[in-house]
Amino acid sequence: MNKLKTFPQINTLINDESLKSHPFYIKAFFCKKVVSKFKENNTQNVSSKENLLLEIQKEIKAFYQKDLQSVINASGVVIHTNLGRSVIDKELYRACEEVLCNYSNIEFNLQSGKRGSRYALVLEKLKMLFECEEALVVNNNAAAVFLVLNSLCFDKEIISSRGELVEIGGSFRIPEVIKAAGVKLTEVGTSNKTHLKDYEKAINENTALILKTHKSNFALMGFHSEVHIKDLHCLAKDRGLLSYYDLGSGWCENLNKKLIKNEPKIKKLVQECDILSFSGDKLFGSVQAGIILGKKELIEKLGQNQLLRMLRVDKLTLAFLNESLKAYLEKDYEKITSLKLLNDDLSFIEEKALKTQKELKFQSELKRSKSLVGGGSMPDKSLDTCVLAFKGAALKLQDKFRSQNIIGRIENDEFVLDFRTIREEEIQKLIFKINQMENL
């Protein structure tokens, strides 16, 4: 007998009483998926209608569980790329709502009644904050690097230190981005040491630009040296070339004193090169965006590149970025959540941990520990923090807490919750979720 004939019609499954409460698109998708899965794997005898329906129900349930949902970041990593990097402040979010849930003047000049520039408001604020000639915003910093190199160096050569040809987040590799932008890379120096004379020797008539890339997600120990952007800029200027600093992260204002040593401050660096770029959602603490600052004539060139249209940002991004920039300009740093979490002092963190510990039905031990900045920022630095450590098999506990959307970490074979990244407004939710568990 033909095996396929034993399967119930898809429509019979979709219309089955047991699936009545589910929306058509969702159940139709999983009915088809389950039937083809059974056709591929199973013999006729297990493909009864009941078995199929059971599997369809399971898939639909899993589908709802997979939905985008909030988690409690108890990992201690403030800028956690897998958990959405920087958290958007609620007040800042509400300020955007008014603009986003109505028509807006996004590309309309209210004074002249004519078409306006989509970027104007945000760019003005960027220029104020960073005291630079010109600014531009694109989708993310990867797009910024691509746009800068493609606009300023297409078909030409750029020079980069071998020590800075980094990979970030698994899919962004500097040498490959350079190539994809239509630019030839000349590597100089070695992985641990590059000197100014290495750059000097590599310059030829095709060279257009000297690139410096922040190492972001790793730190070198022992003998190493790199050339400061200021010196690269002098050399570039001397030889009629451009200098570009891919900062990746980079900080703006009011960052924890313990973290700023040797860390690039954007406002200072923008004076020390022709053009630079960084991510909107790393240390800057806003939304995903690539922020480009620098000389007016260069940024105008980027503006003329057709690519800009493809890399342009949505009104959602612009609205949030606009609010973050306002917060910076008004020195309202509490609204920059990543900064706030990085700046919180130990006594405040301890208070949150103690308050939680008291209300938990399970035993935990309060301990001192260290948390990381994360997000490809400051791999060599950590901050003092307080954790609650739980007794029991660490891996098992980790899974158990994760099933409640609480993401902790394992440290010295113990499962811990780091209170640097648990915000005050999450404490009650955290206590509730933990106390809901039957046992640990």
Ligand X SMILES: *Cc1c(COP(=O)(O)O)cnc(C)c1O
Report the 10 Å Cβ neighbour count for 154.
12
Gap between the Cα atoms of 84 and 70, Å rounded: 10
Q: Which amino acid is at 401?
A: F
Residue 305 beta carbon to ligand X: minimum distance, rounded to whole angstroms: 18
When the beta carbons of 214 and 233 are compared against ligand X, the nearer one is 214
Binding of residue 140 to ligand X (CB under 6 A): yes
Kindly write out the interface string for residues 372-411 of this chain, putting x where it contacts ligand X by CB under 6 A and - elsewhere: ----x-----------------------------------
Residues within window 24-53 making contact with ligand X, judged by CB under 6 A: none
Gap between the Cα atoms of 235 and 243, Å rounded: 9
Binding of residue 250 to ligand X (CB under 6 A): no
When the beta carbons of 278 and 415 are compared against ligand X, the nearer one is 278
Q: Which amino acid is at 192?
A: N
Residue 173 beta carbon to ligand X: minimum distance, rounded to whole angstroms: 10
Which of 47, 75, 86, 141 lies at the binding interface for ligand X (CB under 6 A)?
Answer: 141
Gap between the Cα atoms of 107 and 304, Å rounded: 18
Residue 140 beta carbon to ligand X: minimum distance, rounded to whole angstroms: 3
Using CB atoms, what's the residue nearest to ligand X?
248
Binding of residue 161 to ligand X (CB under 6 A): no
For residue 394, the Cα-to-chain-centroid distance in whole angstroms is: 28
Q: Which amino acid is at 48?
A: S
When the beta carbons of 19 and 166 are compared against ligand X, the nearer one is 166
Residue 282 beta carbon to ligand X: minimum distance, rounded to whole angstroms: 6
Nearest by Cα to 440 from 380, 404, 397: 397
Residue 371 beta carbon to ligand X: minimum distance, rounded to whole angstroms: 19
Handedness of CA 245, 249, 254, 257 (dihedral sign): negative
Residue partners of 391: CB distance under 8 A and separation at least 6: 363, 364, 365, 414, 440
| SS3 letters across 327-344 | HHHCCCHHHCHHHHHHHC
Number of H helices, E strands in the chain: 17, 15
When the beta carbons of 63 and 218 are compared against ligand X, the nearer one is 218
HSE, side-chain direction, 13 A CA sphere, residue 76: 25
Give 286-338 as a DSSP string: SSS-EEEEE-HHHHHHHHHSTHHHHHPPPHHHHHHHHHHHHHHHTT-GGG-HH
When the beta carbons of 248 and 294 are compared against ligand X, the nearer one is 248
Which of 78, 123, 149, 168 lies at the binding interface for ligand X (CB under 6 A)?
Answer: 168
When the beta carbons of 52 and 313 are compared against ligand X, the nearer one is 313
Q: How many residues bind ligand X (CB under 6 A)?
A: 15
When the beta carbons of 177 and 387 are compared against ligand X, the nearer one is 177
Binding of residue 338 to ligand X (CB under 6 A): no
Binding of residue 249 to ligand X (CB under 6 A): yes
When the beta carbons of 74 and 145 are compared against ligand X, the nearer one is 145
Point out which span in 126-134, 137-145, 223-231, 298-306 binds ligand X (CB under 6 A). 137-145
Gap between the Cα atoms of 163 and 418, Å rounded: 33
Residue 433 beta carbon to ligand X: minimum distance, rounded to whole angstroms: 30
Q: Are 86 and 281 in contact (CB under 8 A)?
A: yes
Q: How would you class 208 by CB atoms within 10 Å of its CB: exposed for 0-12, middle for 13-18, buried for 19 or more?
A: buried
Which of 163, 248, 264, 294 lies at the binding interface for ligand X (CB under 6 A)?
Answer: 248
Kindly write out the interface string for residues 282-321 of this chain, putting x where it contacts ligand X by CB under 6 A and - elsewhere: --------x-------------------------------
Residues within window 195-234 making contact with ligand X, judged by CB under 6 A: 213-214, 216
Please report, as ranges, the residues that interact with ligand X according to CB under 6 A.
Answer: 140-142, 145, 168, 172, 213-214, 216, 246, 248-249, 279, 290, 376
